[in-house]
Chain A
Amino acid sequence: MTDSSRETIFTSLRAALPESSPLPDLPAVGPWQTFDDPFARFCEVLETVGGVCQRVPDIAEASRQLAELQAWQSAAVRISVVDGLGESTVDLEQINDPHELENVDFAILRGHFGVAENAAIWVTDDTLKHRVLYFIPQHISIVIPASQIVNNMHEAYDRISVSDHAFAGFISGPSKTADIEQSLVIGAHGARSLIVFAVDDL
Chain B
Amino acid sequence: MPHPALAKEFTDNKERAQWHDKALWFVREKRDRMASSVPEWEDLRQHASAIKMHVMSQLPQYLEQFEQNAKALGVHVHWAVDGDEHNRIIDRILKQHNARRVVKSKSMLTEECHLNPFLEQNGYQVVDTDLGERIVQLRQEHPSHIVLPAIHIRKEEVGECFHEHLGTEKGASDPAYLTEAARQHLREQFCSADVGITGVNFAIAETGGFVICTNEGNADLGVSLPNVHIACMGIEKLLPRASDLAVFLRLLARSATGQPITTYSSHFHGPRPGSELHIILVDNGRSGILQSPEFRRSLNCIRCGACMNTCPVYRRSGGHSYQSTVPGPIGSILTPLRTPEEHSSLPFACSLCGSCTDVCPVKIDLHHQLLAMRGFLDRKKLLGMSKKLSMKFVSGLLSSTWMFTAAGRAARTALRWMPRFAVYNRLNGWGRQRELPEPPKTSFRQQYAAHQKEVTDTVAGGQHD
Contacts and interface: CB of A to CB of B under 8 A. Distances in A.
A and B: interacting chains: yes
Interface of A: 1-3, 5-6, 8-10, 12-24, 26, 31-33, 45, 48-49, 98-99, 102, 117-120, 130-132, 134-136, 152-154, 156-158, 160-183, 185, 187-191
A19 B272 CA distance: 39
Given A18-B296, A182-B23, A172 B273 contact: no
Which of B190, B245, B247, B264 lies at the interface centre, i.e. has the most chain A CB atoms within 10 A of its CB?
Answer: B264
Given A169-B265, A180-B179, A187-B183, A23 B51 contact: yes
Nearest to A170: B265
Contacts, number: 256
Nearest to A154: B246
A149 B144 CA distance: 39
A175 B263 contact: yes
B175 A181 contact: yes
Given A9-B281, A13-B59, 5 more contacts: A19-B57, A118-B250, A167-B268, A178-B148, A189-B129
29 contacts: A3-B79, A9-B287, A12-B283, A13-B60, A13-B63, A13-B287, A16-B290, A24-B54, A26-B246, A98-B224, A117-B38, A130-B224, A135-B217, A152-B246, A153-B249, A153-B261, A156-B246, A157-B243, A162-B209, A163-B209, A163-B269, A166-B73, A166-B273, A167-B268, A169-B267, A172-B261, A177-B132, A189-B187, A189-B216
Contacts of B5: none
B135 to A, nearest CB: 7
Chain B: number of interface residues, binned into ranges: 35 or more
A163 B272 CA distance: 13
Interface of B: 23, 26-27, 38-40, 43, 47, 50-51, 53-54, 56-60, 63, 69, 73, 78-81, 85, 89, 129-132, 135, 148-151, 153-155, 158, 175-176, 178-180, 183, 186-187, 190-191, 204, 207-209, 215-218, 220-221, 224-225, 235, 240-247, 249-250, 257, 259-273, 281, 283, 287-288, 290-291, 293, 296
Nearest to B297: A18
A165 B266 CA distance: 11
A29 to B, nearest CB: 12
A-B interface, 9 closest residue pairs, ranked by CB to CB distance from nearest: A190-B217, A179-B132, A118-B260, A188-B216, A12-B287, A132-B224, A153-B246, A183-B175, A118-B261
A90 B247 CA distance: 40
Contacts of B79: 2-3, 5-6, 9
